[in-house]
Amino acid sequence: MNVFSQSFASTVMKKVCDWQLQNPVALNERNENDWARAAFYTGVMATYRTTQEKKYLDAAIAWSESCDWKLARRLRHADDHARGQTFLEIYEIMQKPGMIADVQSTFDSLIADPKSGREDWWWCDALFMAPPVLARLAAATGDNRYLGFLNTMFWDTHDFLYDKEEHLFFRDQSYFDKVRVLQYLPKDDPFRDRYVALLQEMAAAIKRIQGEDGLWRPSLLDAKEVPHPETSGSSFFCYALAWGINNGLLSRDEYLPVVKRAWQGLNSWVTAEGKLRWVQPIGAAPDKVTMDNYQEYGSGAFLLAGSEIYRLNAAP
């Protein structure tokens, strides 16, 4: 079985996506856990983009409609902005303004009453939740105010959270949010080169600490603290590294072996039914994880990785 072929990537993506759609995590119904489901639906849309099977687009639309196309309740909290990534991706296809009206009004309110990045985006996961929404919103509307706000907030958070010696964000796992921003950031944006340099710097750091099994541990810099694989962060890393190769920002010769080891390792923990195991539960720090742990954000990250493996077509 060639796990790097396009046929395998699309097949395993459908299997994982179908299983997670059929097995939603009840905990994620709570508003403060809304981001976990929102992260999954970025993967549902990646599955649609990869397979062109309409049932995945329909699933994303049905979830968005269940949210009334509105972001979650907390105005300033980046976790509650994450839904906007899927709303905007569907809008890109269907061009119905009501799909992004609440996203736009939310960020208009924040731009009118700004706080610093280190105040509103004070934890590194926030950089996966909100910045890609702003980049997509600017692309959808042509309004560069959203890019200006994104750049101001992002780089202030970077200055607050980034460890310049380890080339990682504090709290260990940054989900390579740069990739989701760079997808929609204009080529002539004055900060683009800085985002690219940060992606390359972090990629080198991540490469050095990859586990022998191709995966990363919950505590990136102390594998012994929680000596088990963790598949959500590993999936995000695999996704970002593959995206960097596919877009000419990372060396294929240097990073393809890293991506292939990661993808191989991830697939070793997908059950026959499509459940991705070894996903750390929701928490504020590296923590215990067991083989049977799963979560929607883990599946979403795996689907994003699969979409880039499909594009990479890394078959020898």
Task: Give residue-wise pLDDT tens across range 135-173.
Answer: 999 999 999 999 999 999 999 999 999 999 999 987 645
What is the SS3 assignment for 162? strand
Q: Is the pLDDT assigned to residue 29 strictly greater than 90?
A: no
Q: In this structure, are residues 224 and 160 in contact, taking their beta carbons and an 8 Å threshold?
A: no
Residue ranges of the domains in the chain?
A: 6-312
Residues in CB range of 245: below 8 A, 6 or more apart: 251, 252, 255, 256, 259, 312
Q: Is the pLDDT assigned to residue 277 strictly greater than 80?
A: yes
Q: In this structure, are residues 277 and 232 in contact, taking their beta carbons and an 8 Å threshold?
A: no
Catalytic residue among 34, 79, 80, 125: 125
Residue 39 tokens, joined: 């992260």
Average pLDDT over residues 205-212: 96
List 216's β-bridge partners, or say none.
Answer: 230
* pLDDT score recorded for residue 172: 43
CATH number at 6-312 = 1.50.10.10
Amino acid at 17: C
Sign, Cα dihedral of 246, 206, 157, 172 = positive
DSSP 230: B
The backbone region for 176, taken as left when phi is positive above 0, alpha when psi lies in -120 to 50, beta otherwise, is: left
Q: How far is CA 89 from CA 23, 48, 49, 133, 289, in A?
A: 24, 11, 10, 10, 32
Average pLDDT over residues 35-64: 98
Q: Is 80 considered catalytic here?
A: no
Sign, Cα dihedral of 106, 108, 111, 113 = negative
What are the backbone angles phi and psi of residue 162, rounded to the nearest 5°?
-85, 130
Report residue 223's pLDDT band, with 50, 70 and 90 as the boundaries. confident
Give residue for tokens 């923590």. 287
